Chain A
Amino acid sequence: MTLLRYIPLFPLAGALLNVFVGRWLGRRAAGLLACAAVGLSFVVSFAIFSLLRATEVLREPLFTWMEVAPLKIEIAFQADALTAVMLLIITGIGLLIHIYSLGYMGHDEGMVRYFAYLNLFIFFMSLLVLADNLLLLFVGWEGVGLCSYLLIGFWYQDHANAIAGNKAFIVNRIGDFGFLLGMLLLFWEMGRQGVWSLSVSELQNITHLLRPERVRLITLLLFIGAAGKSAQIPLYVWLPDAMQGPTPVSALIHAATMVTAGVYMTARLSFLFSMTPETLALIAWIGGLTAFFAATIAVAQNDIKRVLAYSTVSQLGYMFLAVGVGAFSVAIFHLFTHAFFKACLFLSSGSVIHALGGEQDMRKMGGLRRYLPTTYTTYLVATLAISGFPLTAGFFSKDQILWAVHSSPAGSTSLWTLAWLTAGLTAFYMFRQFFLVFHGKCRVDEPALAHIHESPPVMRVPLVLLALGSIFAGWLATPEFMWGSLWEGWLEPVFSAGGVANHAASEDEILFMGVTLAISAFGFLLAFLFRSPENKIAEWLSRSAICRLLAGKYYIDELYDFFFVRPFTASARWLAQICDPGLIDGLVNGVAERVRGGSLLGRQLQSGNVQHYLFAFLAGALALLAYFLGR
């Protein structure tokens, strides 16, 4: 069976078609073409998913990419349970978002370009998860970065969007550099064992032969790459700015799929990461701190999409926290559920923004429940899911993370506390947003209010489907005292090397659930009490120093600007304005000037007077005569 190749093939074909003949197809046909391409990929992915029940790993070499003596890199795809899950998320949610985009981008001039980028993204993302070796994975990794850049700056006429695209690209570049270094170091280390390839399966076979201190460095470098792509401290700054792109893009790339590539990568190399407790501890702490840190920022934001962006950073922190305590399958599970409810949240917010004609400031919303009933429902479901309302998807996945942090030998109470507080903060900022947008008095501007409308069905259907997913996706993995976990068994073969079995007494688990629920409920309560902007305490709080600090995002951007960007631009300016014209040009022009001077001198010999030449000729003849006759 050679099915795997079709998954990236369809979106690639769709992208190329849209690029080259899209403008003749017209907007509508181009969009449908893109949807069909992703739809076909989804069908194939589903087939793979079913096939995998029989065999554990599908492998499909296409051709040899490069072969230099011992080194052999193949373009080869492989699929195991982890890949299948990722593929379903990418193509499934991707398909829904494609369909949604038909409505959301329907009036946009650049719709053909938009769908070409979106298909290209699906291509690269599926390449990333299907890749059999790290080099091919890196191709996908860079490719999704490119698509992210292109789509953030999609409305490039606005300078701020172009800047945001650049920022995302450059910050990712820092991470990618770490990833690249880690990959090269890994290649070197594998070469010491005589394995000259970057194939994951071969790596898995020789992992025990690698030197632990080297593996520590390698995993650290790889994690830098993951932190860049998945927006972890200290490289998270690009993700909130990435919200400048169209909202479906934020849902697909900057919430559901691309930003989880880092989590996927660490899970894919779980056998390597499991070798180094030090790196895992670092990942756990970075993840936990990012989760908490981003959640606090989200509390004080007023832009509807920015809240969701920080919430994404926070949830990604959760995933890394799970990775850090060795609970890889839990991390992937949270990735899975998060993809549903975060995509749902983003698309719902997109629906709100669409209804209000582009308004993103929550202070100018409120009371929208009456105008947007479907969006209101889906938003509520997704908000409940992310806040961990019982029996929703987020409830199960978040609980498992907290439980893993507590029960895993790598976890600790302080980490658990951090994650626990984050759960409360999540409930608070999500419901704060929810109340600000849908309840209370309507603060919408007059002209926007006149055009307010519920989204068309093409946008509502994906919303509803995602909302359903936000509820039921979690039921795949329930605690022991319910019907247990399908998930663990499904992903077991992938993580058998590094997974941490953590099945303690279920009474403890119930207790922990209760504690988590309590803080979430507390967060909800606070949000409910402060739901009105006219609330005295809320007003006083919003003017306090701490709130200003949070609204200013801890001034991290300003800090980076001062410590990295400014010195960098200053040194670049120094190089360009002083060093280059002075030193480099001086050297080059100096050499040229000297040569010119020497040539001017030598040119005098060429007087052009034929008699001078004759005289020189005679002198030479005389010298020869003197030499030969004088001997």
Chain B
Amino acid sequence: MTLFIILAVLTVVSSLLVIFQRNVVHSAVALVAALFFIAVLFLTLDAPMIGILQVLVYAGAIMVLFLFVIMLLNPAALEPRQIPWWTLGSAAALLLVFLLMPALLNTVAPRQAAPAGPGFGSPELLGQTLFGSFVLPFEIASVLLLVAIIGAVVLAKKES
């Protein structure tokens, strides 16, 4: 419980830093932190495999890609901050949390989970599920990734 609260505070703070930092690089670093804390939260939910993937794929691969792009484009100027627009967006986001709150606090799902079964969240079980009932989406995901690679190459290529 204490661990969750500490992790929750750290995640929210680093998430807020992502959007409040005017410097893009700082935002990216804050995002890496937030993703890391979320990976730890995954671990607390008996999902070690996903948590490791989170660190590997997100913090490791995607964020490096972000940083490369930032470095490549090198947007030197700090972006302007318009108070009215910021207030409006923040208020809308707050309203969203406020509206969702009662529904989230009264879920029909069991509040306190039963102790996890043996091997829950283990790579074995995940692999069995993935290649069992989810094998078709898995294969389609591979096609999606291929398309994304080709698309990215085509888009980012210098026009001749």
Report which A residues bind B (CB closer than 8 A): 615, 618-619, 621-622, 625-626, 629-630
List, sorted by A's number, 20 A–B pairs whose CB atoms are closer than 8 Å. Answer: A615-B88, A615-B89, A615-B92, A618-B92, A618-B96, A619-B92, A621-B96, A622-B92, A622-B95, A622-B96, A622-B99, A625-B96, A625-B99, A625-B100, A626-B99, A629-B99, A629-B100, A629-B102, A629-B103, A630-B99
> Which residues from chain A contact B88 at a C-beta distance below 8 Å?
615
Collect the chain B residues with CB atoms within 8 Å of residue A618's CB: 92, 96
| Min distance, Cβ B1 to any Cβ of chain A, angstroms | 28
Question: How many A-B Cβ pairs are below 8 Å?
Answer: 20
Q: Tell me which residues across on chain A come within 8 A of B100, comparing CB atoms.
A: 625, 629
Q: Mark B71-97, 1 if CB is under 8 A from A, else 0.
A: 000000000000000001100100110
Residues on A with C-beta less than 8 A from B92 are: 615, 618-619, 622
Task: Tell me the nearest residue of chain A to B101, going by C-beta.
Answer: A629
Instruction: Considering the complex, give the chain A residue whose CB is closest to the CB of B88.
Output: A615
State how many angstroms separate the Cβ of A612 from the closest Cβ of chain B.
10
Number of interface residues of B (CB under 8 A): 9
Interface residues of B (CB under 8 A from A): 88-89, 92, 95-96, 99-100, 102-103
A629 to B92, CA, bound (A): 17
Residues of B near A625 (CB, < 8 A) are 96, 99-100
Interchain CA distance A618-B92 in the complex, whole Å:
8
A619 proximity list for chain B (CB < 8 A): 92
How far in angstroms is the closest Cβ of chain B from A614? Answer: 9
Please report the C-alpha to C-alpha distance between residue A311 and residue B31 in the assembled complex, in whole angstroms: 111
Q: State the Cβ distance, A187 to closest chain B Cβ, in Å.
A: 75
The complex places the Cα of A622 from the Cα of B102 at a distance, in Å, of 14
Interface of B, secondary structure class, is: helix
B86 to chain A, nearest CB (A): 12
Minimum CB–CB distance for A626 against chain B, Å: 6
CB distance from B10 to the nearest CB of A (A): 27
> Nearest Cβ distance between residue A15 and chain B, in whole angstroms?
68
**Chain A residue contacts of B99, Cβ below 8 A:** 622, 625-626, 629-630
Chain A residues contacting B96 (CB-CB under 8 Å) are 618, 621-622, 625
- In the complex, A615 Cα to B95 Cα: how many Å? 13
Q: Shortest Cβ distance from B26 into chain A, in angstroms?
A: 21
With a cutoff of 8 Å between Cβ atoms, the chain A residues found around residue B95 in the complex are 622
**A478 → chain B, closest Cβ, in Å?**
106
Q: With A and B bound together, what is the CA distance between A629 and B105 in angstroms?
A: 12
A615 contact set on B, CB distance < 8 A:
88-89, 92
> Shortest CB–CB separation between residue A613 and chain B, in angstroms?
13
| Alpha-carbon gap, A630 to B89, bound state (A) | 22
> Nearest-CB distance from A460 to chain B (Å)?
91
Residues of B near A630 (CB, < 8 A) are: 99
| A147–chain B nearest beta-carbon distance, Å | 71
In the complex, the chain B residue whose C-beta lies closest to that of A624 is B99
Q: Would you give the shortest CB distance from B105 to chain A, in whole angstroms?
A: 12
Complex Cα gap A625–B103 (Å): 10
Nearest CB of B to A589, in Å: 40
Looking at the assembled complex, report how far the CB atom of A307 sits from the nearest CB atom of chain B, in whole angstroms: 90
Q: How far is the CA of A619 from the CA of B89 in the complex (A)?
A: 10
Residues of A near B102 (CB, < 8 A) are: 629
Distance in angstroms from A627 CB to nearest chain B CB is 10
Q: What residues of chain B lie closer than 8 Å to A621, measured between beta carbons?
A: 96
Q: Name the residue on B nearest A628 (C-beta).
A: B103
**Among B95, B99, B103, residue most surrounded by chain A Cβ atoms (within 10 Å):** B99
Complex CA distance for A161 and B102, rounded to whole angstroms: 94
Q: How far is the CA of A615 from the CA of B102 in the complex (A)?
A: 23
Q: How far is the CB of B107 from chain A (nearest CB, A)?
A: 13
Give the distance to chain B from A616, nearest Cβ to Cβ, in Å: 10
Given contacts A618-B92, A622-B92, 18 further A-B contacts (CB under 8 A): A615-B88, A615-B89, A615-B92, A618-B96, A619-B92, A621-B96, A622-B95, A622-B96, A622-B99, A625-B96, A625-B99, A625-B100, A626-B99, A629-B99, A629-B100, A629-B102, A629-B103, A630-B99
Nearest CB to that of B102 among chain A residues? A629
Min Cβ gap B96→A in Å is: 6
**Shortest Cβ distance from B79 into chain A, in angstroms?**
13
CA distance A622 to B100 in the complex (A): 9
Bound complex: CA of A618 vs CA of B96, how far in Å? 9
Chain B, Cβ-Cβ closest to A626: B99
- For residue A527, give the distance in angstroms from its CB to the closest CB of chain B: 102
Please name all residues of chain A whose beta carbon is closer than 8 Å to the beta carbon of B103 when the two chains form the complex: 629
Least CB distance from B134 to A in Å reads 29
CA distance A630 to B102 in the complex (A): 9
Bound CA span A353–B111, Å: 121
Min distance, Cβ A630 to any Cβ of chain B, angstroms: 8
Complexed CA–CA distance, A538 and B95 (Å)? 114
- The distance from the CB of A619 to the nearest CB of chain B, in whole angstroms, is 7
Return A36 CB to nearest CB of chain B, in Å: 78
Which one of B88, B92, B100 has the highest number of Cβ atoms from chain A below 10 Å of its Cβ? B92
Closest CB in chain A relative to B110 CB, distance in Å: 21
Q: Once bound together, how far apart are the Cα atoms of A622 and B95, in whole Å?
A: 8
Q: Which residue of A lies closest to B96 (CB)?
A: A622
A348 to chain B, nearest CB (A): 90
Min CB gap A618→B, angstroms: 5
Cα distance, A618 to B90, chains bound together (Å) = 12
C-alpha spacing A625/B98, complex, angstroms: 11
Tell me, rounded to whole Å, the shortest Cβ–Cβ distance linking A486 to chain B: 102
Bound together, the chains give a CA A630 to CA B96 distance in angstroms of: 13
Cβ-closest chain B residue relative to A623: B99
Which residues does chain B contribute within 8 Å of A629, judged by CB atoms?
99-100, 102-103
Shortest beta-carbon distance from B102 to chain A in Å: 7
A-B pairs, top 6 by smallest CB distance, nearest first, are A625-B99, A629-B103, A618-B92, A626-B99, A622-B95, A629-B99
> Smallest CB–CB gap between A143 and chain B, Å?
70
